[in-house]
Chain A
Amino acid sequence: MFYSTHDLVAIVPELILTGFAFAILLIDLWLPKRAKTINGLLALFGVVFSFASVLTMYNTNMTAFNHMIVMDKASNFASIVMLLTAFVSIVMSFDFLKREDYNLGEYYEVLLFSIVAMQILASTYSLIVMFIAVETLSIGMYILTGFLRNKDESVEGAMKYFILGSFASTFLVLGIGMFYGLFGSTDLNVIRTGLTHASALYKWLAILAFLFVFVGFGFKIAAFPFHSWTPDVYASAPTPMSAFMSVAPKAAAFLALLRFIVVGMGPIEANWTKILWVIAVVTMTFGNTVALWQKDLKRLLGYSSIAHAGYMLVGITAANELGYGSVMFYLFAYLFMNLGAFAVAEFISQKEDRGTEIENLRGFGYKYPLIGAAMLVFMFCLAGVPPTAGFVGKYYLFSAAVKSHLYWLAIIGVINSAISAYFYLNIVVIMYMKGEQEKEVNVFNSIPVKAVILITAICVLYIGIFPSSFLSAALNSVVF
């Protein structure tokens, strides 16, 4: 068993990012303080090149490293989502880091390594690789959460994230160990073959193993009851990183979960759909109802991301191609709306990344008409109102459920989106309908952030009105 350059081709996007990460690591040492932005630009280039390589190889279908890693449309689609997220987050970070006086090269390094981990997570068929990738990514995230280390919240967030993340990953290891014990391998295809012919006892044990593995993934995608870190971490992390965390790791984890579930757990579909049914329902309901009481924009988005994870679980629960495709599409749509919303949070944030209370948005729509309008679009998008990407995404998710005759799941889903409309619209209310802001609120007047807000808003609308090509791409991507 020997490796060839062929194997390296499959990880070109990862390699590019790794290369750039190392480049930053080295160049950072010689950069004077005022030129630290070059780090960011380098990271941006890395992302762009990686993105370009993903696009060039979009239709490739290859496996490498003893089937441990593949490059297929699914992984490429997920890569696109992650790289776009990374791109936007990096753009959002430029001025942010300058303002916070934390303009360190390490930020971008860790970020790039995390993306590498995510890409690997998204493109592997081996559970153990998944575990390592998840951990790499998690560690990156712990670090980025605590990056503003002089801030109480940051420390606390990182601490919680760390404890809970490690806690959950133990169960992931346990689950992987069980699969290994049962089937002698952690390769999903082997597991699938084994499961197809497995005895009832094996199947039963496999379900339990599935549960433990799911703890790990559930933690990453913030499914109830493994969600508890989400709001705290989102609220405490640097805003660009909250944005990043709410999309990219989720995209990777969802794709990994899809692979694990669809490929590995295919034979016991009947069982995991039931489990996921319950989890999806609880997750949506939890996220949405608790979000009703939030006062802080970032925290609200944290809860809302729990809810959105619930919606996406609906797509997986549906257990059909449409469902998987729509999960991917939803991730793609969610990218823009959530990043946009976080960008607005950044826009209103003060020094030390504070001041993201919703109340600070009072009269915002009139003071900043364009950005206000964009926020309006994001809010309606998150609530799932057409003509936005969020609506189309939700439509497909629920229609997948309906296709699998999971009517109640779909109904609970839409009821939830009606509940969610309340708190999203409440933001609109505050922006437009509560009169002027009394106190002086200094916004973060960063051109990149504004550009992000406007461009994501346009994208949200564009995808909402002309979803066709994106949708076919998403639907075609999940043919495993």
Chain B
Amino acid sequence: MTGYLVVSALLIAIGATGVMIRRNFMIVLMSLEIMINGAGLFLIAMSYYLGNVSGQVMFIFIAAVAASETAVGLAIAVMMYKKKKSIDINDFSILRK
């Protein structure tokens, strides 16, 4: 089990690092996907080791949520692009302090 959990941990950490260090909004979006997949893997692993299918059902919800999130995220990306012709998140930092 630990192996799956470690993979899940790796995915989450990689995704989180991506969010923290990347400037390209699209890649941030991808990193978020990776993260949520890592968490989903955790759930599925639990489901398997518990012998309880609920976890798999939950993953479906999570997938749906992730999809909607991505949709909105992409909409935001388009907005950003329209606005500044750039999707560098550091270009969007007038709100501060």
| A positions within 8 Å CB-CB of B | 128, 131-132, 135, 139, 142-143, 146, 149-150, 152-153, 155-160, 162-163, 166-167, 169-171, 173-174, 176-178, 180-181, 184-186, 231-232, 235-236, 293, 299
Contact = CB atoms under 8 A, between A and B. Distances in A.
Contacts, number: 123
7 contacts: A143-B72, A152-B92, A156-B94, A158-B79, A159-B92, A177-B58, A180-B50
Interface of B: 12, 15-16, 19, 25, 28, 32, 35-36, 38-40, 42-43, 45-47, 49-50, 52, 54-55, 58, 61-62, 65, 68-69, 72-73, 75-76, 79-80, 82-84, 89, 92-97
B12 A184 contact: no
A176 B44 CA distance: 12
Contacts of B96: 232
A173 B40 contact: yes
> Interface residues of A: mostly helix, strand, loop or mixed?
helix
A149 B77 CA distance: 12
Given A173-B43, A186-B58, A156 B36 contact: no
Contact of B92 (A128, A156, A177): A156
B16 A167 contact: yes
Given A135-B65, A163-B28, A167-B19, A180 B55 contact: yes
B32 A232 contact: no
B72 A167 contact: no
Given A159-B92, A185-B54, A186-B54, 20 more contacts: A128-B61, A132-B65, A135-B69, A139-B69, A139-B72, A142-B76, A150-B83, A153-B95, A155-B80, A156-B92, A166-B35, A167-B19, A170-B15, A170-B32, A176-B43, A180-B58, A181-B49, A232-B95, A236-B95, A299-B95
Contacts of A235: 95
Most buried by B among A156, A169, A184, A231: A156
For chain B, what secondary structure do more than half of its interface residues adopt (helix, strand, loop), or is it mixed?
Answer: helix
Contacts of A128: 58, 61
B79 A174 contact: no
Contacts of A131: 61-62, 65
A404 B95 CA distance: 40
A146 B49 CA distance: 42
A162 B58 contact: no
Contacts of B72: 139, 142-143, 162
Nearest to B43: A177
A203 B19 CA distance: 31
Contacts of A170: 12, 15-16, 32, 35-36, 38-39
A28 to B, nearest CB: 19
Name the residue among A131, A166, A184, A186 with the largest chain B CB count within 10 angstroms.
A166
A152 B83 CA distance: 7
Contact of B83 (A155, A160, A177): A155
* Most chain A beta-carbon neighbours within 10 Å: one of B28, B79, B83, B95: B95
Contact of B95 (A142, A186, A231): A231
A180 B43 contact: yes
B50 A184 contact: yes
Contacts of A299: 95
